[in-house]
Amino acid sequence: AGDAKIGLGVMMVGLNDRQAIREGDTVHEPLSPRWLELYRERINAVAQAFAARRVPLIWVGAPPVQNARLSADLVTFNEQYRQQVERAGGQYVDLWGAFVDAENRYAAMGPDVSGQPARLRLGDGIHFTAVGARKAAHFVDVLVRRMFEPGTQGSVIALPVSPETGAPTNPELQPGGIERLIDQMVAGLPVISLPAALQAKPAAGPILPLTGTAGPGDQALLVSIPEARGRGEIAGQLDRIFGEGILPEPKPGRMDDHRWPR
């Protein structure tokens, strides 16, 4: 790896390791008993290489994938990572709970680091979107910041571990930790008072009689017809139309002429 000084190691592997391992002339199929033994040896070799040089190691577990069979295999993978890495003094980050739904099933959609609904996985059901990758990196970022806080430079902070499961008890690293962290951040924001409610509009406008006596402002429309009486042919047409309800005779070619042509 050269002479460059390494201050921190972050590992994440997964489905690409799901392939046969050759041992001499024998080929061991993935997840077979001997395959698991050889794979644990490889994980331990990596973890011990960091431990021997006193370099902190963070091993990130694989998230679930859309294919149920592959997801089941990844559960076994993650268990090997957790056991070997923690045994060597490294830290294991569990991503599983951040990428499943309430029933612990694969979820392509979910909250991003700000709590907004977003697509976290690509259409192949395996890889992250950019938003999903940022969410996965958040869990590592939390741990790295704790490792290198002022006053702890160069030392590894051992996270509390559950005696029953061996899983980190740090709430930010457990499944659902990011959602709880977002809730805490939102709870600390100042409360903004809402503007006073606007005056409600009435359910209906004023009721106006349609058969009563017209008001002063309506007289102009009513008197315009009587005033037109006695003014020749136009006055007669107005009397017949508005007084007697008789429409004028249709003229050939006009819109109101509905007679069939002869």
Q: Is there a domain that residue 209 lies in?
A: no
Q: Is there a domain that residue 193 lies in?
A: no
Contacts of 138 (CB under 8 A, 6+ apart): 113, 178
Q: Which of 186, 202, 233 is the last residue of a domain?
A: 186
Shared domain for 113 and 229, answered yes or no, is no
Residue type, 138: H
Shared domain for 29 and 144, answered yes or no, is yes
What is the number of structural domains in the chain? 2
Shared domain for 74 and 138, answered yes or no, is yes
Query: Model pTM?
Result: 0.57
Shared domain for 24 and 104, answered yes or no, is yes
What digits encode the pLDDT tens for the residues 79-115? 999 999 999 999 999 999 999 999 999 999 999 999 9
Q: Is there a domain that residue 202 lies in?
A: no
What digits encode the pLDDT tens for the residues 20-73? 999 999 999 999 999 999 999 999 999 999 999 999 999 999 999 999 999 999
> How far apart, in Å, are the Cα atoms of 62 and each of 119, 120, 235?
18, 14, 93
Q: Are 43 and 84 in contact (CB under 8 A)?
A: yes
Q: Name the phi and psi angles at 37, rounded to 5.
A: -60, -50
Q: What is the CATH number of the domain that holds 118?
A: 3.40.50.12700
Q: Which domain holds residue 228?
A: 218-262
Shared domain for 182 and 229, answered yes or no, is no
Shared domain for 111 and 15, answered yes or no, is yes
